Amino acid sequence: AAPADTADSLRTLVEASADRLALGHQVALSKWDSGAAVEDGGREAVVIMNAVSQGEGLGLERMWVAGLFRAQIEANKLVQYALLADWSRGGAPDHAPVDLVRDVRPQLDVAQKAMMAALPGVAPLRTRKTCRGEVAAAVGDYLYRRQLPAGTLDAIALDRALAGVCGG
């Protein structure tokens, strides 16, 4: 694919990753209410298995897809831990009850599908020397477009969420 195609796909991937990450706020609220642990190893395995098998249908390498989603999950946990720690000190924001299994995980699955659709176009970037710089720039563009300040929790976590794009 030409570099322009990669850039478009990367932009789509960054947006879908940010959408997935934003759901971490809802997940954290549900865990605040339920007292459940942030980490759910069984669910992580399901998320990664689903992504890998969807990726195989798209001709994507298993290890790459697994690494990509491991990074997404790690970033999601970063957001959850940070929010829960804040709320332990200051209280959680007012919110309606959040049903993790019925409401939030299906939305995570939708964001995952959007990410998967972008991956074939992003794959050629993996092996470029410029990969890390291009990913960092794409995140910077996203933050700029959304007027999200660098250094905030969501901005930091978005860089981490995309840590699996290069190499693998």
Ligand X SMILES: O=C(O)C(=O)C[C@]1(C(=O)O)C=C[C@@H](O)C=C1
Query: Where on the chain is the footprint of ligand X (CB under 6 A)?
Result: 27, 38-40, 43-44, 47, 72-73, 76-77, 100, 105, 108
Shortest Cβ 84–ligand X spacing (Å): 11
Residue pair 112/51 in contact (Cβ under 8 Å)? The answer is yes
Shortest Cβ 108–ligand X spacing (Å): 5
Which C-beta is closer to ligand X: that of 36 or that of 63? Answer: 36
Shortest Cβ 40–ligand X spacing (Å): 4
Among 65, 44, 167, residue whose Cα is nearest residue 117: 65
- Alpha helices (H) in the chain, listed in sequence order: 3-34, 41-57, 62-90, 105-122, 131-146, 153-161
Which C-beta is closer to ligand X: that of 7 or that of 20? Answer: 20
Which C-beta is closer to ligand X: that of 108 or that of 119? Answer: 108
Among 11, 50, 1, 2, residue whose Cα is nearest residue 134: 11
